[in-house]
Amino acid sequence: MAKKMMRVGIIPREEYWKRTIAIARGEYVPKRGEPKIWFESLQAMAQVLSSENQQLLRIIIDRKPKSIKELESITGRKSSNLSRTLKTLERYGIVALPKQKKNIIPKVNITDFTVQFGLNHHA
């Protein structure tokens, strides 16, 4: 699988909203190479990119499960827990959950991450 990289940023929630409003008003144009995904803290990012979730992504890449049910069987994780995790990863663009016939087939979109953060944020 070819590496697919995503730049993520960490920015306080109020700064994120200011930035979003400035973009919507046309007062700020995101620069090329800026993060597409933002977390409000290192802890929030760590929850999404936890060791357990990284292991899940590796399993999807290596084993290429043909359904969520097959992924449940491989990982031993409960359906509700696995579904919640996959939906979170999908929301951030890390995985895709395309439906083929009656099965949802998990696919990993992003394999590498670059994190950007600082103490001074300006929109």
pLDDT at 33: 87
pLDDT on residue 123: 45
Model confidence at 1, pLDDT cuts 50, 70, 90, reads low
CATH number (3.30.70.270, 1.10.10.10, 3.40.50.360, 3.40.50.2300) of 5-117 reads 1.10.10.10
Q: How confident is the model at residue 2 (pLDDT cuts 50, 70, 90)?
A: low
pLDDT digits (tens, 9 = 90+) for 30-45: 998 899 889 999 999 9
Domain ranges of the chain: 5-117
CA distance 92 to 25: 24
Which tens digit of pLDDT belongs to each residue from 83-103? 999 999 999 999 999 998 889
* 30-84 tens-digit pLDDT: 998 899 889 999 999 999 999 999 999 999 999 999 999 999 999 999 888 999 9
